[in-house]
Amino acid sequence: MTLRVLGIDPGLTRCGVGVIDSAGGRRATFVHAGVIRSGTEDPLDQRLLAIARGLRAALEEYSPDVVAVERVFSQNNISTVMGTAQVSGIALLEAAERGIPTALHTPSEVKAAVTGSGRADKKQIQTMLVKLLGLEAPPQPADAADAVAIALTQLWRGPGPVALDASGGARTGAQAVWARAEREARRARERSTSRH
């Protein structure tokens, strides 16, 4: 049975939307990534309406089994936090009205799930998305890539088999791929050093 996850990176100017499918285990297939935009010159109510309409359209088109939203976290810019919180509320409401389960994930949870490190930067996340989903390039713009990462976080934090690392500890599919890439890079450096 395929599980479809819709990830949302809430934002008032650009709201990222990413959709992935899973056929079981930790395998995921990329379905869609994009952004819903609102005009910065428009009144707040019209901006929220534009985002709500875009989210409704995405929910109707992709019919997800679950919706994952990035949890609002404290920032220095209060107006940015307020807009993000308002869009998060709309996303949760639109999903709830359709009976779709929702989940919230912090930015550090997303980074850790996708890269294995809660301190990863956007470039590392995008690199992992390419590897994990077999893409030619990361989804663009960055808000869309973030939404795909949020969807992957929900997929890997939900129930299902978890790969074990060599020490017997739990490791997500992303962490396993990242560890393998690190080992390959270390071997390449060692080979390069031994030639000189």
- Is 146 marked as binding a ligand? no
Catalytic residue among 21, 70, 94, 146: 70
Q: What is the DSSP string of 138-191?
A: --SSHHHHHHHHHHHHHHHHSSS--EE-TTS-EE-HHHHHHHHHHHHHHHHHHH
Annotation says 143 is catalytic:
yes
| Residues 131 and 181: beta-carbon distance below 8 Å | yes
Catalytic residue among 9, 21, 94, 146: 9
| Residues 35 and 16: beta-carbon distance below 8 Å | yes
- Using the structure block, give the residue that is written with the tokens 């299902």: 160
- Is 143 marked as binding a ligand? yes
Annotation says 65 is catalytic:
no
- Is 70 marked as binding a ligand? yes
Annotation says 146 is catalytic:
no
Catalytic residue among 21, 94, 143, 146: 143
196 three-class SS: coil
Please give the annotated binding residues, written as ranges.
Answer: 9, 70, 143
Enzyme catalytic residues: 9, 70, 143
Please give the annotated binding residues for Mg(2+), written as ranges.
Answer: 9, 70, 143
